[in-house]
């Protein structure tokens, strides 16, 4: 398996262990951290041939959408009177 995928797995494992150590129980923080790791390793995984490149982008966009949703909920909670 290629190094960027192994880096993605290793970094996610380290992040998961650290979040368990901190006692984080909310999904939004976990998904946001994973989204950051995913896009940080993305440039190293590319170039990818077309169908696989599209899958890679699609996964990243879904993660970004989830991150945006959770961020919007947090901002709405702050702005709510």
Partner 1 sequence: MQSDIGPSLIVLGAAVSALGLLQLNLAPLLALGLAAVSAGLLATWEPAAREKVLAKLCEAGWENTSALLQAVGAPPKAYYIPSSASGRPVAVVAGERPEVVPRDALIFKTKAGPAVVLATPGTKALELCGELPGDLAEALRSCVVNTLGLARSVSVAERPDGAVVEYGGVAAPNLYGKFLAKSALGSVLASITAAVAAELWRRPVEIADERAEGRRLIVMVR
In angstroms, the CA 76 to CA 27 distance is 17
Residue 71 touches partner 1, criterion: CB under 8 A: no
Of residues 3-22, which lie at the interface with partner 1 (CB under 8 A)? 5-6, 8-9, 11-13, 15-20
Q: Are 35 and 68 in contact (CB under 8 A)?
A: no
Q: Minimum Å distance from CB 62 to partner 1?
A: 10
Q: How far apart are CA 4 and CA 45, in angstroms?
A: 5
What would the x/- binding string for partner 1 be over residues 24 to 43, using CB under 8 A?
Answer: xxxx--xx-xx--xx-----
The residue ranges that bind partner 1 (CB under 8 A) are 1-2, 5-6, 8-9, 11-13, 15-20, 24-27, 30-31, 33-34, 37-38, 45, 48-52, 55-56, 59, 63
């Amino acid at each position: 398996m290629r190094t960027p995928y192994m880096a993605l797995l290793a970094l996610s494992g380290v992040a998961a262990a650290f979040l368990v150590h901190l006692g984080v129980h909310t999904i939004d923080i976990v998904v946001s951290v994973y989204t950051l790791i995913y896009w940080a390793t993305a440039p190293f995984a590319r170039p990818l041939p077309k169908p696989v490149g599209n899958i890679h982008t699609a996964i990243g966009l879904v993660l970004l959408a989830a991150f945006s949703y959770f961020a919007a909920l947090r901002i709405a909670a702050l702005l709510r009177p």
